[in-house]
Amino acid sequence: MLKSIFYPTQQNAFIWLSSIYLLFLLYIGKASAMSILFAYFLETIVIGIFNALKMLWSILYGKSKKTDFGLILFFLLHYGMFVAIQSLFGFSLFGMEGTSPIKEPFNIIENYGIILNLEDIKYALPSIIFMHLGKFITDYIHQKKYLEFTAKEIMFKPYVRIFVQQFVVILSFFFIVFGEAGIIAAILLIFFRLIIDLCLESINKNSKTLDYLSEKLENEKVTKEEIKKQLIIFTE
């Protein structure tokens, strides 16, 4: 089963390419440890944008009702508040680092502007966007997954995944700042994210990983097929 998770395939190609590109940027000095950290921190917004696009695609071409457009607005407002609270916490941590450009955590929009204007973020951030764009086109649209899920089912999908993602980012931050292991911590962050993303990507329809997890989680209250559907929605 490990081979089915970590072996490079057409399905997980964008995850591998994104990680390899970030490692290459570190190697040639075009990205610092903090810029890699900020790129993964900004991924929260990228995920939200593509989740809204998935909802829109499901409404326009899938099984969702045309009256579900309001769900996209609700998601953007709710997710925006979630990102704002998360940003306050993140900016408070980043401000602890003496050389960090973040000084005042409550200036959320200004702080995002500072991050986006960093010299090496222009190299690191496109890698994250490229990964999600590639997955959106080749996986969600090409495989017509918008016919399988409604906008309502997709709406709350990112939250648990974002929690895992940001936990890894915050943990890496402490290694970079207080452990004084900048480049090593950045490399570990890329590898940790690669492992997490590959594991999540492996949970797809008819996969060995999905069968294994659904068998382990099956109980008297929830059937194997119901667990499969929830796992697929969670990792979509």
State which residues form the domain around 218.
204-236
What does the angle CA 40 – CA 207 – CA 127 come to, to the nearest 5 degrees?
20
- Point out the least confidently predicted range of 35-49, 59-73, 162-176: 162-176
Residues 228, 179 within the same domain: no
**Within a domain: 19:** yes
Q: 106 and 140 share a domain?
A: yes
Does the residue 2 lie in any domain? no
Instruction: Say yes or no: 21 and 95 in one domain.
Output: yes
Q: Is the pLDDT of residue 215 over 90?
A: no
Q: For residue 145, what pLDDT band results from cuts at 50, 70 and 90?
A: confident
Together in a domain, 178 and 85: yes
Q: Over 60: is that where the pLDDT of 179 sits?
A: no
Whether the per-residue pLDDT at 99 is higher than 60: the answer is: yes
Q: Residue 23 in 3-state DSSP?
A: helix
Asked, for residue 179, whether it belongs to a domain, the answer is yes
Q: Note whether 168 and 216 are same-domain residues.
A: no
Whether 104 and 209 share a structural domain: no
Residue-wise pLDDT tens digits, 9-48: 888 999 999 999 999 999 999 988 888 989 999 999 999 9
**5 lies in some domain:** no
Same domain, 25 and 98: yes
Residue 3 lies in a domain: no
Mean pLDDT of 164-176: 77
Average pLDDT (45-74) is 91
The model's pTM: 0.87
Asked if the structure places residue 101 within a domain, the reply is: yes
* Nearest residue to 123 via CA among 193, 25, 27, 37: 25
Cβ neighbours of residue 64 closer than 8 Å, sequence gap 6 or more = 55, 58, 150, 151, 152
User: Average pLDDT in the 184-196 region?
Assistant: 88
Mark whether 107 and 60 lie in a shared domain: yes
**Does a structural domain hold residue 1?**
no
Please tell me the predicted confidence (pLDDT) of residue 26: 92
CA geometry: angle 103, 107, 111, nearest 5 deg: 65
Task: Looking at the structure, tell me whether residues 195 and 215 fall in a common domain.
Answer: no
User: What does each C-alpha distance from 97 to 75, 91, 106, 231 come to in angstroms?
Assistant: 33, 10, 16, 38
Q: What is the mean pLDDT of residues 58-87?
A: 90
Same domain, yes or no: 31 and 140: yes
Read off the pLDDT band of 136 (50, 70, 90): very high
Residue 81's contacts (CB-CB under 8 Å, 6 or more residues apart) are: none
Say yes or no: 233 and 182 in one domain.
no
List C-alpha distances in Å: 167 to 9, 15, 63, 130, 220: 27, 19, 34, 22, 32
Backbone dihedral region for residue 118 (phi beyond 0: left; psi -120 to 50: alpha; all else: beta): beta
